[in-house]
Amino acid sequence: MFQSRQTDQQIIWYDDALIISPTSEHFSGDYWQQAGKVLGSAQGRGTTWFVQLETISAALRHYRRGGLFGKLVKDHYWFAGWENTRCYQELMLLKHLRESGVNVPRPIAARAKKRTLCYQADILSEKIANARDLVTILQDSSLSAEIYRSIGAQIRLMHNAGVNHTDLNIHNILLDSEYKVWIIDFDKCQQQSGVEWQAKNLDRLLRSFNKELSKRAIHWQLSDWQALLEGYQGGQL
């Protein structure tokens, strides 16, 4: 159960077992740099900071828009209530997925800050230790059919939990040093009824493999996809 701290213009939700009394500063990369607790960073739409909390390593991400509209309005979203903010939705989705047995980062805290009719948002989630995404791994070497079956099984668990990952690609699937499969980046994702969207998730993932194969010559072939589907359809975890 998340705790919350709210003012007229801001709300912070947090798991007090993972972070102690977070303030606005905890959602600033400058704060962590000055505290000497930055472990690293990654570039995407913006900078994701990897920071050391009291009990856990975390990834701090500021919500930014993509696409053409994102060039005009970088990080503001229409405010329609605190629980409709993207950070709260992602925090709750991660909680639901973990309770459903899916390997996703632990949700730590989120902050939404109101700006007149709009809001800005940030999220802190668990940094998966010693993990790399499939793109990075497959540039170096191929993976066994057993690992692909494990990837498929995790996607099946996610779908069984009713979660539509609208940006499922091989950048968002990680393997740690024990070859445990993790799924990340659930911004704009949602719980959804029906099943037609599940095939669309898989189609998007297959396109991602093929795209990276043409761009980077990754160590991947169609038989690997068949192993993934075996795991998805009921293979080994």
Residue 45, pLDDT score: 72
What secondary structure does DSSP assign to the chain, as a single string? --EEEE-SSEEEEE-TTTSSS--GGGG-HHHHHHTT-EEEEEESSSEEEEEE-SSSEEEEEE----HHHHHHSSS-EE-S-GGGSHHHHHHHHHHHHHHTT---PPEEEEEEEEETTEEEEEEEEEPPTT-EEHHHHHHH----HHHHHHHHHHHHHHHHTTEE-TT--TTSEEE-TT--EEE---TT-EE--SSHHHHHHHHHHHHHHHHHHHHH--S--HHHHHHHHHHHTT---
What value does the mean pLDDT take over residues 128-150?
97
9 and 122 in one domain? yes
Where residue 44 falls among pLDDT bands split at 50, 70, 90? Answer: confident
Where residue 42 falls among pLDDT bands split at 50, 70, 90? Answer: confident
173 and 117 in one domain? no
Average pLDDT over all residues of the chain: 94
In sequence order, which residues have a C-beta less than 8 Å from that of residue 224 and are 6 or more positions away?
142, 143, 145, 148, 209
Q: Which amino acid is at 156?
A: R
What value does the mean pLDDT take over residues 164-178?
97
Give the residue numbers marked as catalytic.
167
Q: What percentage of the chain reaches a pLDDT higher than 90? A: 88
Residue 202 is part of a domain; what is its CATH number? 1.10.510.10
Residue 72, pLDDT score: 63
For 16-27, write each residue's pLDDT tens digit: 999 999 999 999
99 and 23 in one domain? yes
Residue 68, pLDDT score: 57
Two tokens at 3?
A: 């705790």
- Per the CB < 8 A criterion, the answer to whether 5 and 20 are in contact is no
For 65-102, write each residue's pLDDT tens digit: 875 554 566 899 999 999 999 999 999 999 999 999 99
122 and 7 in one domain? yes
Residue 236, pLDDT score: 44
Cross-strand partners of 10: 113
182 and 166 in one domain? yes
pLDDT of residue 237 exceeding 50, the answer is no
Distance between CA atoms of 19 and 14, rounded to whole angstroms?
A: 7
97 and 76 in one domain? yes
For 207-223, write each residue's pLDDT tens digit: 999 999 999 889 999 99
Angle formed by the axes of helices 145-160 and 222-232, nearest 10°:
40
Distance between CA atoms of 200 and 164, rounded to whole angstroms?
A: 9
70 and 108 in one domain? yes
Please tell me the pTM assigned to this model: 0.93
104-108, 135-139, 213-217: which has the minimum mean pLDDT? 213-217
Domain range for 88 is: 3-126
